[in-house]
A = this chain, B = another copy of it.
C-alpha cells in the first residue's frame, strides 16, 4: 500500500501536509485530518460544494467535474474534492468555508468534522393536483436537493398518510443512502445515535447527539453472556455442545445492548425512537454471537471468519429497540483474532494517519498487537491467557470492587490501592503487574521470576511464606501472590513481547525506533506504563512514550456515528492492515522462552 503526500493550502495562509493511502480522495484525506472542506452531501457528488484547486500534481477530471465546472476552471485545476482521487503527491488550494462545519474531538485527541450518516431534512411540499401527479416519494425526494436516498418499504407504507396529515410539512430521516422515515413537522433538532463497545466482559454504551457530536449519557454493564464462560473460547465451545446455546447467547447479547440503550436514553431524557443508528465495535466472536452467526469456525484451527465486512444490518437484528428502521454499523473484523474492536481502536487512535512509528497493544486474554508506520500497518494476535483478567491467579479476580489494583512497595512497607476503597478481596490484572514489577524493582523477585526466600527479604520477610507447599508473597491477610501466579504473568507477558518482537523483525524495525506505544483496552487503561516497561510487556522506552489510551474501541464506534468519512476510513483500514500469523513460526518458541525473564 503506497502513500501520497497531500499539502493543503488553507485560506488563512496556513499549510497542512498529510500522508494518505494512494487512491483516497482529497476530501477524505482532509476530513480524516480535521481539515474542513465545504460539503453538505457528505461526498456523494451531489451538492457540488466541495470544490478545491489542484495547484500541483494532476487529478483527471471526472464526468461530475465536467458538469460542475466550465472548461476554463477545469484547466485551472478546479475539482470536486470528493471525486478527486489522489494518485500522486498533490498541493491543494482550499477555498474559504461558506458554511462552518461542526467538529468534535473524539478518540485519541482526534478532531473530527461532523458528517453523520444520519441526516434530517425538513421540507414543505406543494400539494399534488391533476397537473402535477408526481408520486409521493418523487415529490419528497425532489425537495431534498443534496441527498438521493432510496426508500424502505416501511416508509412507503405510511408516507401518503403522513404527508397529508402533516399538511405536507415533514422531516425526512435518512441514514446514509436509505430513507428510513418521514416524520410530521420539523424534527431536525432530534437526531441521536448510540455507540457500543461490545466486550466479552463489559459492554459500554454512549448516547451521542449527532447534531453536535456531544455525548449525552454513557453506561456500562457486564455482558449477560458471562454465565456461558468468561472468555470467547468457552462461549464458542458452548455453541458446539448445545444447539440451543447460540440463540441463547444471541438473545443475551441483545438483552445487554437493549438494557444499556434504554438506560442511556432515560438518563438523557431522549425518546429511543429518535435514535436512528447504532454502531458496534466488538471482537469477532462477540459480533458473530450478537448477530446469531455460528461462531464455531472462529474457535478451532485454522480459525476462520464467516466474513470480514458484514451485510447491511439493522438495530432490530441486534435486538436494540430504538427507531424500528434504525440502521446498525458493525465494525468489520480482519481475522478471527483481530476483530472489529481492534479496527475501531486503530481508527480512533489514528494509527493509519500518523507517520510516527507506533505500536498498538490491546492487552487482554487474547492480545492484539499492531505496528504502524509510513509503510502501513502489520497486525498479529498473541494468546496471553487469562492472567490479566485475574483468572488462573490464586487470589485473582476481575477489576471490580475489592480488587487490589495498585501495589506500592518500599523495603519496609506494602501499600495497596483497592477498587471502591473497601477491604481487599483479591488481586486484579493491574495489581498483579504492579506487585510483580515492584518485587522486581526491589530485587525480591529475580530476573528468572523466582521469589526470594524470607531470609533474603529483609523487613518484608514476614510477607514471604508458604501456602500448600508453594512460595507466596502475602499482600493482605489471605490475599497473596504465589510463585505460580508469577509464572502465569511471565507466560502472558512473554507471549505479548514475543508478538511485538517478531513484528519488529518481520518489518526490519528496531525497538529503539518506536516513537510511541499505545496501551488499549480496559486492562490497558489501568496498567501503569512504568510497570509495563519494568516487566518487559512493552519495549524499553522513556515512560512518557507509553500511553494508556483507554477504551479506543468505543471511541471508534463514536467516530463511525459522527462521520461517514471515518467509517469509510475503517473500511480502508481493512486493506491497509496486513495480518501476520506468528504462532506457526518455527522460531516462536525460542523467542517465547527468551522473553520469559524480566528485563
Contacts and interface: CB of A to CB of B under 8 A. Distances in A.
Contacts of A293: 153, 156-157, 159-160
A164 B297 CA distance: 9
Given A301-B130, A302-B129, A581-B130, A291 B156 contact: yes
> Which of A158, A293, A317 has most chain B Cβ within 10 Å?
A293
Nearest to A139: B304
Contacts of A135: 304-308
Contacts of A128: 302, 304
A138 interface: yes
A160 to B, nearest CB: 4
A294 interface: yes
Nearest to A292: B157
A584 interface: yes
Nearest to A581: B130
A311 B156 contact: yes
Contacts of A142: none
A534 to B, nearest CB: 35
B311 A150 contact: yes
A313 interface: yes
Contacts of A151: 307, 311
Contacts of A302: 128-130, 132-133
A321 B267 CA distance: 43
A97 interface: no
A581 B301 contact: no
Interface in A124-144: 128-130, 132-138
Nearest to A133: B302
Nearest to A151: B311
A335 B132 CA distance: 12
A336 B160 CA distance: 13
> Which of A129, A294, A303, A336 has most chain B Cβ within 10 Å?
A294
Contact of A304 (B133, B157, B295, B317): B133
Contact of A311 (B152, B304, B317): B152
Contacts of A160: 293-297, 304, 306
A310 interface: yes
A297 B161 CA distance: 8
A156 B304 contact: no
A136 B305 contact: yes
Contact of A161 (B133, B138, B294): B294
Interface string A109-135: 000000000000000000011101111
B306 A137 contact: yes
Contacts of A295: 160
A179 to B, nearest CB: 9
B292 A137 contact: no
Interface string A379-412: 0000000000000000000000000000000000
A336 B134 CA distance: 10
A592 to B, nearest CB: 18
B136 A291 contact: no
Contacts of A291: 153, 156-157
A156 B308 contact: no
Given A129-B302, A156-B307, 20 more contacts: A132-B302, A133-B304, A133-B581, A135-B304, A135-B308, A136-B304, A136-B306, A136-B307, A137-B306, A152-B311, A153-B293, A153-B311, A157-B291, A157-B292, A158-B294, A159-B293, A159-B306, A160-B293, A160-B297, A160-B304
Interface of A: 128-130, 132-138, 150-153, 156-161, 164, 291-297, 301-308, 310-311, 313, 317, 335-336, 581, 584
5 closest A-B pairs by beta carbon, nearest first, are A137-B307, A135-B305, A160-B297, A130-B302, A161-B294
14 contacts: A133-B336, A134-B304, A138-B307, A138-B308, A153-B293, A153-B311, A153-B313, A156-B291, A156-B311, A158-B294, A160-B293, A160-B294, A160-B297, A164-B296
